Amino acid sequence: MMQIVSWNCKNLKTNGNWLLSAFPNPDLILLQETWLFSFEHNLIEKMFSNYYCVSSSSMKDNKQSLRGRPYGGSAILLHEKYKSSVIMTDTSDPRMAFVKLKSKLGELLVVNVYFPCNTHENTKLISKYFAKVHNLVSDHDGPVLVIGDFNICPTSKLYDSLQNMFNDLHHRKITNTWAQFHLLSPILQGAQSHGLTIALLQKVWCQMCQCRIALAQATTYHY
């Protein structure tokens, strides 16, 4: 059984060691909000020395980007035993990186998503990423995993749109390969002093397998 971990880590430099202790040796790790510059890719390789790593930064490599709060970035880490299975990688878009791997079921597409924040100002941008995911999956002839932080909670109007998109794609044959997913969901902003609001920000859509989801929670600066 393949073990897959997806996590919005909100700064890999400070939180990466926790992931290593919680999940010592998963097969596949998908990270969102790494908060790294492109020249810091080597930090991921040093931290996860047993993994084949591809990453993408959202921050420009200049002094101006050093000011203010860091943001964005994504990474896909594949255990070194699968390195020879890599067919291609694409990290041109830090919000939607993907890899293609050789598998017994055919060419496996793994997509790591980090959607824009769900605000009125981002409506068109979010629609753009719905279309990008749909087109990428539709054009792929083989098993698919779409995993990551969609920034859409179940009470949002966009959640129905997200479900409809995946329902539309779900006409493909589901096979019997097993995988286990650990989706580490941050605590959602908007919590009041007397309690916390938990939302499912991490989501997985799996076209290639039956899967078992082990859902954990990790606090973030959203409080």
What mean pLDDT is reported for the chain? 76
What confidence score (pLDDT) does residue 197 get?
30
Report the C-alpha gap between 85 and 66 in whole angstroms: 37
* pLDDT exceeds cutoff 50 at 155: yes
Three-state secondary-structure class, residue 127 = helix
Comparing 113-117, 126-130, 204-208, which segment has the lowest mean pLDDT?
A: 204-208
Q: What would the mean pLDDT of 139-164 be, rounded to a whole number?
A: 85
What confidence score (pLDDT) does residue 77 get?
94
Report the C-alpha gap between 134 and 137 in whole angstroms: 5
Partnered with residue 152 across adjacent β-strands are none
Better-scored residue on pLDDT, 100 or 61 = 100
> Which band of pLDDT confidence, cut at 50, 70 and 90, is reported for residue 171?
low
* pLDDT exceeds cutoff 90 at 189: no
Q: What would the mean pLDDT of 90-113 be, rounded to a whole number?
A: 91
Q: Does domain 2-218 have CATH number 3.40.1160.10?
A: no
> Which band of pLDDT confidence, cut at 50, 70 and 90, is reported for residue 22?
confident
Residue with token string 């959607």: 115
Domain ranges of the chain: 2-218
Q: What would the mean pLDDT of 179-198 be, rounded to a whole number?
A: 37
What confidence score (pLDDT) does residue 57 get?
83
Q: Which of 134, 56, 52 is nearest to 101 (CA)?
A: 52
Q: Render 131-180 in DSSP notation, one character per residue.
A: HHHHHHHHT--S-EEEEEE----TTSHHHHHHHHHHHHHTTSPP--EEEE
This prediction's pTM: 0.79
* pLDDT exceeds cutoff 60 at 74: yes
Q: How far is CA 161 from CA 64, 98, 131, 172, in A?
A: 37, 22, 11, 19
Q: How many residues are given for the chain?
A: 223
Report the C-alpha gap between 43 and 36 in whole angstroms: 9
